[in-house]
Chains A and B, each alone.
Chain A
Amino acid sequence: MIEFKGICKAYVTGGQRVDALNGVDGHIQRGEMVALCGPSGSGKSTLLNILGLLDMDYRGQINIDGQPYPTEQIAAARFRRQSLGFVFQRFNLVPVMTALENVAYPLMLNQCSKQEQQTRAQDMLERVGLGDYVHHRPDNLSGGQQQRVAIARALIHNPSLVIADEPTASLDSHTANLVIDIMKELGHEMGTTFIVATHDPRMAQRCDRVIELIDGKLAPQAATTEAISWAS
């Protein structure tokens, strides 16, 4: 379970202090898929970055399975490679690597053997329906295929938490539905927690729960429920 308490984050832009997050609390159960919704500037990307340990300059406390989040850069990198997965809006695959190598990358970081990397990456690509594309480079794959490779990469090392930032924003609706299905299916199957920042109502609708942020604060439960009903 992930718990976060009193998360505060402020930026200074143009000499003005902006409170991006202002004491956000919450918890997410293991295996849950949570949509993080809110208008632009509400702080959802900021919260996502903090929960993904991409931004460590915040106040507040985050625990995962009872353990506090690391606060030191190298420890954070180690934590990310072992326990976190990421899916980005623009896929962010490494262009010189094949689909197989992209998927195997987290295993390589975790010192798995070459054989294990190959086997598990091949298996994961087959699970996302890309068994025939293992040796394709990203520029030879469609947007939907690239995002599926990215999902496979995010899940290959069985992370506790996958952070997904607008994973369907660059996809057409058919492909977006396919990607959502894969994320949900694999997430439940592998017991992986997903936090998905999205503007896409289809995505939010398919999540187990929606957390809405407004002006750097959690919206009241009613608003969250409303958001779900809006999404549905």
Chain B
Amino acid sequence: MGKLTQRMSTFLLPTSMRLAWLNLLRNGRRSLLSVLIIAIAVFALTSAGGYGLYTYESLRESTARDTGHLTLSTPGYFEQDEDMPLSNGLDNVQALTKSIIGDSDVRGVQPRVYFSGLVSNGSKSTIFMGTGVNEREFDMKGPFLDVRSGQTLSDVKSPRYDSQEPQVMLGTDLARNLKVAVGDWVTLLATTSDGALNAFDFKVQGIYSTGVPELDKRQLYVHITTAQELLASGKVSTLSVFLFETSKTSTVQQRIQIALERNSASQSDQGTEIEITPWQDRAFFYTKVKDLYDRIFGIMGAVMALVVFVSLFNTMTMSVTERTREIGTLSALGSYPSEIVAGFLKEAGLLAVIGSAIGALVSGLVSLLLLVVDIQMPPPPGRTEGYPLNIYFSLELVGYATLGVLTICLLAAYFSARKGVNKPITEALVYV
């Protein structure tokens, strides 16, 4: 911060910015402190925001991969219970799937059958919540399904699949309650679509965890065909549409809506009405976490803003007070108050930009470091699994933080400088 920086500033900056820079160097320690405070604020905001973004994205992906980005069902399917299993299910699934799968943004369309009943190991029974899926469902879920032992359901068309041994995947706690392991047999008892009772034996193919204890206690997966046989129906509960990019959800939703309406109009048989539900409408956990984090980060941002404002206001007020006679001189020479204030705004702007750049740089470095160093976060409320601490480095977030800090610094400088320029020139000139 000596002669070298002064010389460099002569060549690199326009005159007004160079003078602002030199004015900052007049009290280097104070300016450095202000820069540090701004840097810490920007680092805190971008890191906390980056952590929030990482959490949002993880939850978004987890939810979208669990429910599917879009869910096709009969209208009101999620609002009211079915009188009988699959009584509100979808018919003609093949045609529906065919009309959707052609969309280039659609990764897959998976039918599901939701059902419930009793699961028994022969000596002990408990309630289950079952989902009939086909084996490709697990490809769609990717890393969001934690298979603890065994494997996911096999392809029913595979020669290795034995139709005499229908497969089931159990949640960890359900398996523990029933004292069963991979290779053991359980019996599922459910009500068919016409109200009769039906039971099938299933071989445990895998044990998995969803990360949510309540689900792990009750949930199980079976092949969709087996589920339909158990429920004695050819219908499915829903069709889950998985996309390549979550951000395209609403666009694809509109396209599918149009395609469905066109199909419906072209067919003489109007068929069943279909409702499309985007993942957000089913993402209760995501919405609640996002609301909570948004508030926490909002309060944190407000506190940071206040700290930066007070710090900058103090710095600029001291600077203005020390330079009262100089302000008087510039006014006497004919500078307009706005021109003098602009000088101080430039100084505050420089502090904000330099501080923000340093804060963003540190945030970026920490973000990179966390990719290398594995730090585990404790499980969130209602979950059993922790997750790695990651911070997304978002240029957009850096931009917003910088803009916010810049605005605060400019405001602080404006209020300080205005006080200085409002002092009568004759008083300012004799100020000691």
Interface residues, chain A, with chain B CB atoms under 8 Å away: 49, 52, 54-55, 74, 77-82, 84, 86, 88, 92, 94-97, 101, 105-106, 109, 153
Contact = CB atoms under 8 A, between A and B. Distances in A.
A221 B329 CA distance: 34
Interface in B325-366: 325-326, 328-337, 339
B19 interface: yes
Interface stretch (B82-90, B113-121, B371-379, B422-430): B422-430
Contacts of B330: 94
A199 B325 CA distance: 22
Contact of B334 (A55, A92, A106): A106
Contacts of A92: 325-326, 328-329, 332, 429
A105 B333 contact: yes
A81 B335 contact: yes
A105 to B, nearest CB: 6
Contact of B426 (A54, A81, A94): A54
9 contacts: A52-B332, A54-B332, A74-B336, A77-B331, A77-B337, A80-B333, A86-B332, A92-B329, A101-B15
B430 to A, nearest CB: 9
A96 B328 CA distance: 16
A78 B338 CA distance: 13
A54 B425 contact: yes
Nearest to A163: B332
A55 B424 contact: yes
A96 B23 contact: yes
Nearest to B332: A86
A51 to B, nearest CB: 12
Given A81-B333, A86-B332, A97-B19, 19 more contacts: A49-B426, A52-B332, A54-B425, A54-B426, A77-B331, A77-B335, A80-B332, A84-B334, A88-B429, A92-B329, A92-B429, A94-B329, A95-B326, A96-B19, A96-B26, A101-B15, A105-B333, A106-B333, A109-B333
B411 interface: no
Top 9 closest pairs, chain A to chain B, by CB: A81-B334, A96-B22, A80-B334, A92-B329, A54-B425, A49-B426, A86-B332, A55-B426, A54-B426
A223 to B, nearest CB: 27
Interface of B: 15, 19, 22-23, 26, 325-326, 328-337, 339, 424-426, 429
A88 B333 CA distance: 11
A106 B333 CA distance: 7
Contact of A54 (B22, B337, B339, B429): B429
A55 B26 CA distance: 30
Nearest to A85: B333
Contacts of B328: 92
A139 B369 CA distance: 47
A97 B332 CA distance: 17
A109 B337 CA distance: 12
Given A88-B329, A96-B22, A77 B429 contact: no
Contacts of A94: 326, 329-330
Given A88-B329, A94-B329, A97-B19, A77 B336 contact: yes
Contacts of A81: 333-335
A95 B326 CA distance: 9
Nearest to A96: B22
Contacts of B15: 101
A84 B332 CA distance: 9
A192 B244 CA distance: 79
A106 B334 CA distance: 8
Contact of A109 (B19, B23, B334, B426): B334
A120 to B, nearest CB: 16
Given A88-B329, A96-B22, A96-B26, A78 B334 contact: yes
